[in-house]
Amino acid sequence: MNLAEQLQGLYQKFGELPGISIELHKQLIAVAVENKAAKATIFLQGAQVAEYQQKGQQKGQQPLLWLSDQCDFKAGKPLRGGIPICWPWFGNLECNPEQVKSQFPADALAHGFVRGREWNLDSIEHVDPSTTELVLSLNVLPDAQWPFAAKLQLKVSVAEQLTLEFTVINTGDKPFSFTSALHTYLNISEIEAVSVSGLEGIRYLDTLNEWKPETDEAPVCIDGEVDRVYQNLEKAVRLSDSGFKRTILLDADNAPDMVVWNPWQDKAKRLSNFADDAYQRMICLESAHVLDNLKSLEPGESFVMKMSVTQED
């Protein structure tokens, strides 16, 4: 089905719904959602939530998610920003245990392949004037890259808080293992103005220092490149931003790990679709299950991980 036919089908199915717009951003289709509580944009490619902003005088100031102004909206190329879905592996080979590593080709791109695939928009429901629920799905068929079969589903709730519920079902006849992350890019006033609490005393692996295990008793402040895998969190995480005078709460179910990442100056220059100074306006707090927290599904079994982002008063 070509782009025009896809758009036509989406207009027919969803175009008349209040607060819903079907949009074309160069080569990519998106659905824009607006209700009493918030507005959001979700791209069908990768089922990628790209934008989310609450409404209201105080809360309505700044988007909660960061999206690069250098996105080129090309088919097959994940957007830089929002919430990419990293599956069936997080990171690259070195980030994964043997059980997962052995399932994908050595030259595989980081963060799996589903963030570059076209998902299906199954349904949109206005649960109430302040809550809109979208369901997107992707059938993964065995191929040379990943010889297993799965059905993925992402349920996105756009409301006072943004909630993502990611489901994996093993629809094949072979068991498979996977790691995954909801790679959330948060929009911040400036990198020196933020700190992350809720990770104090939690063991993390410093991927920039040979994955050495560390702990930090203080809230996380960023004054250089940070790329840490915090393992087995014990509570929700809060990002305090003194510049935007707000706190963003991230909570998750069945995502025991969190990756904290800021590329800082040097890596920023090497990243695609990323301005050299963009590291000052974003931080990634990624709800995940990686390494020892890999998941394995027998045929017919399913896995659900959930995360929510909201701006506290």
Residues noted as catalytic: 183, 286
Among 65, 134, 259, 305, binds ligand TA6 (CB under 6 A): 259
The helix (H) or strand (E) run that includes residue 38 is: strand 38-43
Determine the Cα–Cα distance for residues 217 and 199; give it in Å rounded to an integer: 8
**CB-nearer residue toward ligand TA6: 91 or 172:** 91
Q: Enter the tokens of residue 66.
A: 């960061």
Q: Is 111 in the site for ligand TA6 (CB under 6 A)?
A: yes
SS3 184: coil
25-84 binders of ligand TA6 (CB under 6 A): none
126-155 binders of ligand TA6 (CB under 6 A): none
**CB-nearer residue toward ligand TA6: 101 or 126:** 101
CB 147 within 8 A of CB 133: no
**CB-nearer residue toward ligand TA6: 20 or 87:** 87
Among 227, 241, 251, 257, binds ligand TA6 (CB under 6 A): 227
Cα 135–chain centre separation: 15
**CB-nearer residue toward ligand TA6: 3 or 110:** 110
280-309 binders of ligand TA6 (CB under 6 A): 284, 286
Q: How far is the CB of 283 from ligand TA6 (least distance, A)?
A: 11
Among 3, 24, 75, 110, binds ligand TA6 (CB under 6 A): 110
Q: Is 196 in the site for ligand TA6 (CB under 6 A)?
A: no
Q: How far is the CB of 20 from ligand TA6 (least distance, A)?
A: 28
Q: Is 91 in the site for ligand TA6 (CB under 6 A)?
A: yes
Helix, strand, coil tally for the chain in percent (to 5) = 10, 45, 45
Residue of minimal Cβ distance to ligand TA6: 261
The helix (H) or strand (E) run that includes residue 8 is: helix 3-14
**CB-nearer residue toward ligand TA6: 87 or 261:** 261
Only one residue has tokens 């990293």, namely: 86
> Looking at 141-291, which runs of residues are DSSP E strands?
150-158, 162-170, 176-178, 180-182, 185-187, 194-197, 204-206, 212-214, 220-221, 226-230, 237-241, 246-253, 257-262, 282-289
Kindly state the number of chain residues that form the binding site for ligand TA6, as judged by CB under 6 A.
10
Question: Phi and psi of 70, rounded to 5°?
Answer: -110, 15
Contact residues for ligand TA6, defined by CB under 6 A = 91, 110-111, 183, 227, 259, 261, 271, 284, 286
